[in-house]
């Protein structure tokens, strides 16, 4: 797009300046938005003449908006911003405000900063309740998930959800939908982690001494989602020092934790009781499960494996 000041310079530099200026003026003053502005203000001729460059800029920028090619291809001088006329003492001036596409884009970026993930597929992170296919096997789980979002009070809600069921029934997707809705509706910061990969990273973080920093963040995030808990290779260190430490801190600070798993409570307890080197440690597993059972509601999700459809 030709720069506005260059266009006006070309006009003023010509021999027929007055003629060109009058044609430009007539064209600009026929614009409906300009006429609306003038209908609300008593503007004298000399103010109009001095403000012609602003009026021209206003009409040209709005012409781009009327034929909007999308935010990424926005040709306006300030991408994603629309001009608005106002009187600045005895002069016509412009201020730029975000358009609806720019506002929506910033809101999405804000939500992405609120909702973070570790090791979760990108296609799942944009989950929304309205995109979940409702059937008899998942109806109750969807209802409880929506109720959880509606009733969630930052700093006060203590009880989370424990989604369990077979592979591919939508547990992770529904958890991400909860996180997205809480970010959108109540500006709740959350983190979802794929538990097996997270525990493996904790082991590797010992060598580079970053484990404390990573654990500290996971412990303190307002809403934590432990996805696919029970799919990891269990060890006494992972169970007691990592998982136990996270849950103990969150319990003491009244921070909400959500879970998804292929196991129900009893099956997860059996999984936690067995460690590769320590054998069966039922008491330690019960200690972990007490922190999970007491602070979550179990929600079964049925249906077929949608990954194979």
- Could you report the per-residue pLDDT of 205-247, keeping only the tens digit for each? 777 677 888 888 889 999 999 999 999 888 889 999 999 999 9
What integer pLDDT is reported at residue 257 of this predicted model? 97
Q: Measured between alpha carbons, how far is 218 from 161 in angstroms, rounded to an integer? A: 18
What integer pLDDT is reported at residue 227 of this predicted model? 95
Spans of all domains in the chain: 4-98, 105-308
The better pLDDT of the pair 262, 17 is held by 262
Q: 0.95 cut: is pTM over it?
A: no
Q: Give the number of C-alpha atoms closer than 13 A to the C-alpha of residue 75, restricted to the C-beta side.
A: 15
CATH topology of domain 105-308: Rossmann fold (3.40.50)
| Cα pseudo-dihedral 80, 84, 90, 91, rounded to 10 | 40
What integer pLDDT is reported at residue 133 of this predicted model? 86
Question: What value does the mean pLDDT take over residues 273-299?
Answer: 89
CA 123 to chain CA centroid, Å, is: 13
pLDDT in tens, 58-95: 999 999 999 999 999 999 999 999 999 999 988 999 99
The better pLDDT of the pair 287, 123 is held by 287
> What is the band of 20 on the pLDDT scale with cuts at 50, 70, 90?
confident
Tell me what percent of the residues of the chain surpass a pLDDT of 90. 62
> What is the band of 9 on the pLDDT scale with cuts at 50, 70, 90?
low
Residues 6+ apart with CB under 8 A from 175: 163, 192, 225, 227, 258, 260
What integer pLDDT is reported at residue 114 of this predicted model? 62
Give the chain's mean pLDDT.
Answer: 88
Strands 279-280 and 274-275: antiparallel
Helix (H) or strand (E) holding 300: strand 296-300
Tell me what percent of the residues of the chain surpass a pLDDT of 70. 90
The better pLDDT of the pair 148, 110 is held by 148
pLDDT in tens, 180-210: 999 989 999 999 999 999 898 888 877 767 7
Q: Measured between alpha carbons, how far is 18 from 39 in angstroms, rounded to an integer? A: 26
What integer pLDDT is reported at residue 82 of this predicted model? 96
Between CA 38 and CA 50, with CA 44 as vertex, the angle to 5 degrees is: 95
Query: Is the pLDDT reported for residue 4 higher than 80?
Result: no
Bridge partner list, 115: 190
> In the 8-state DSSP scheme, what is residue 264?
-
pLDDT in tens, 29-69: 999 999 999 999 999 999 999 999 999 999 999 999 999 99
Residues 6+ apart with CB under 8 A from 53: 4, 5, 8
Q: Measured between alpha carbons, how far is 145 from 173 in angstroms, rounded to an integer? A: 11
Helical segments of the chain, H only: 4-12, 17-29, 32-39, 45-50, 52-66, 100-114, 122-125, 139-151, 171-186, 195-208, 211-220, 236-237, 244-252, 265-273, 282-293
Query: Is the pLDDT reported for residue 154 higher than 60?
Result: yes
How big is the chain, counted in residues? 309
What integer pLDDT is reported at residue 255 of this predicted model? 95
Instruction: Please report the DSSP string for 160-218 in residue order.
Output: EEEEE-STTSSHHHHHHHHHHHHHHHH---EEEEEHHHHHHHHHHHHHHT-HHHHHHHH
Q: Measured between alpha carbons, how far is 161 from 170 in angstroms, rounded to an integer? A: 14
> In the 8-state DSSP scheme, what is residue 301?
-
What integer pLDDT is reported at residue 115 of this predicted model? 62
Token readout for 170 is 């939508």
Q: Measured between alpha carbons, how far is 190 from 179 in angstroms, rounded to an integer? A: 6
> Nearest to residue 272, comparing CAs of 229, 231, 238, 234?
234
Query: Is the pLDDT reported for residue 19 higher than 80?
Result: yes
Q: Measured between alpha carbons, how far is 98 from 170 in angstroms, rounded to an integer? A: 37
Query: Is the pLDDT reported for residue 260 higher than 60?
Result: yes
């Amino acid at each position: 797009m030709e720069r506005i000041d260059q266009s006006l310079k070309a006009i003023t530099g010509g021999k027929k300046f007055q003629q060109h200026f009058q044609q430009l003026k007539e064209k600009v003053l026929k614009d409906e938005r300009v006429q609306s502005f003038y209908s609300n203000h008593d503007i004298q001729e000399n103010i109009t003449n001095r403000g012609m460059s602003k009026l021209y800029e206003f009409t040209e920028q709005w012409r781009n908006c009327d034929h909007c090619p999308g935010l990424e291809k926005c040709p306006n001088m300030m991408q994603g911003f629309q001009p608005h006329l106002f009187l600045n003492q005895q002069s016509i001036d412009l201020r730029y405000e975000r358009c609806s596409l720019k506002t929506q884009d910033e809101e999405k970026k804000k939500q992405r900063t609120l909702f973070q993930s570790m090791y979760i597929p990108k296609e799942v992170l944009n989950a929304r309740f309205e995109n979940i296919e409702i059937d008899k096997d998942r109806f109750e789980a969807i209802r409880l998930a929506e109720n959880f979002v509606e009733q969630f009070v930052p700093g006060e809600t203590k009880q989370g959800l424990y989604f369990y069921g077979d592979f591919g029934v939508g547990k992770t997707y529904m958890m991400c939908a909860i996180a997205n809705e809480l970010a959108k509706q109540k500006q709740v910061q959350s983190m979802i982690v794929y538990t097996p990969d997270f525990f493996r990273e904790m082991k590797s973080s010992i060598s580079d001494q970053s484990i404390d920093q990573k654990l500290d963040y996971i412990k303190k995030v307002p809403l934590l989602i432990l996805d696919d808990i029970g799919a990891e290779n269990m060890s006494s260190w992972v169970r007691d020092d990592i998982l136990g430490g996270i849950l103990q801190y969150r319990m003491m600070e009244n921070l909400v934790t959500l879970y998804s798993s292929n196991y129900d409570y009893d099956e997860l307890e059996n999984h936690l009781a067995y460690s590769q080197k320590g054998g069966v440690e039922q008491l330690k597993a019960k200690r972990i499960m007490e922190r999970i059972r007491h602070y979550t509601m179990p929600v079964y999700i049925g249906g077929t494996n949608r990954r194979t459809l």
